Structure 1
């Protein structure tokens, strides 16, 4: 699973998880959220650095031709991203949630730390979708079908693997049920249009609009 072809798609994702673990350990050790405000910046910078170092390995990120990623595909990806956002904000019943989200409040000392806001939204909308889709859809989804995952055409992926990946993706999130729905949507786009960019665009739209909504409403727990 961690061979030279998988590592560029696995390592950025596990680096992201590692920083989440670090934050949890530090909070358990008595550090306040306020003291860890800039840990997200370090986390995104580390993931971005790995994506940049491995950029020549990501053949799936070559922009596809018009046959697979024309305006209809882009429109469907944007629409799916908006629909997932609406579901994300409304699938919050108690049984659909696991644990307590740490959240992120950019206000400090009576004002808003706009540097952190920009990094948070840019990281969530531009970096995280690439990192997660490389792992969940491009690697794990295809790897479940064949260890030689780079040879698997997305249009030939079996539905059961899409479901399994969506479930695992869902439980990466506090809103696990909404996460499963999002995973199914992104997986469908990947299979339908045979390009990872469809899932990345949808994922980026969801995360970017969620960031804007959080800023407008002050619902920091969604961050």
Structure 2
């Protein structure tokens, strides 16, 4: 149970804070809920830091150049698809306003932008890839997932995990493709840092795109 717990806790904290974000406007109408994001990212970072010694799959920091380039390429491709797969039938529900870091005059609050992008690049990829790829994708293949080499993950486990990953996102089709891409990358490179880097590239590029275009619904 402990290996499951340490890979689920950071993700669980993130989900709890997402729920809290939805409830706070009714509970505390005067609170600017946007500032809950750095709190959320900070709590997840703290959990990851405390539990870091238990993540054996993250102890090898080096990636061959070819795998690094592959990871960056996958991240860019997922980003390009993500910003184009937003038709109504590709969404689970109606798109909301998203995370809008502007003030009443329409000017960007760069502190909010910095917190948002930093969390999306440095925290979310580690948290999600530990949960979805290292834990769930291997566990679906074999309950004793710590003893399963990533190269032995089969198509069924990849598809199931990617489908669940898709449901986590408003853009379900984009989420499905991202899940398949990151999951395949984990199997192909046999190194969790590869999908983490790809995920970080996608999130970082998406953050730059959103800040430049003002399409806050992608956030």
Report TM bin, short chain: over 0.9
Which residues of structure 2 form unaligned runs of 5+?
Answer: none
Q: Deviations over 1:132-158 (max 9, x none)?
A: 000000001111112211110000001
Q: What are the equivalent positions in structure 2 for 1:158-169 lying under 5 Å apart?
A: 158-169=154-165
**In structure 2, what is the Cα distance between the partners aligned to 1:78 and 1:49?**
27
Report what 1:104 is aligned to: 99
CA RMSD, aligned part only? 1.5
**In structure 1, what is the Cα distance between the partners aligned to 2:218 and 2:21?**
17
Report what 2:217 is aligned to: 221
Q: What are the equivalent positions in structure 2 for 1:137-216 lying under 5 Å apart?
A: 137-216=133-212
Report what 1:44 is aligned to: 41
**In structure 1, what is the Cα distance between the partners aligned to 2:119 and 2:212?**
18
Q: Deviations over 1:29-56 (max 9, x none)?
A: 5737x72120101100000000000010
Deviation at 1:25, TM superposition (A): 1.9
Question: What is the aligned residue count?
Answer: 217
**In structure 1, what is the Cα distance between the partners aligned to 2:218 and 2:131?**
23
Higher mean Cα deviation, 98-107 or 137-146? Answer: 98-107
**In structure 2, what is the Cα distance between the partners aligned to 1:134 and 1:181?**
18
**In structure 1, what is the Cα distance between the partners aligned to 2:184 and 2:193?**
12
TM-score, normalised with respect to structure 2: 0.95
**In structure 2, what is the Cα distance between the partners aligned to 1:30 and 1:38?**
13
Which residues of structure 1 form unaligned runs of 5+?
Answer: none
Higher mean Cα deviation, 90-99 or 203-212? Answer: 90-99
TM-score, normalised with respect to structure 1: 0.93
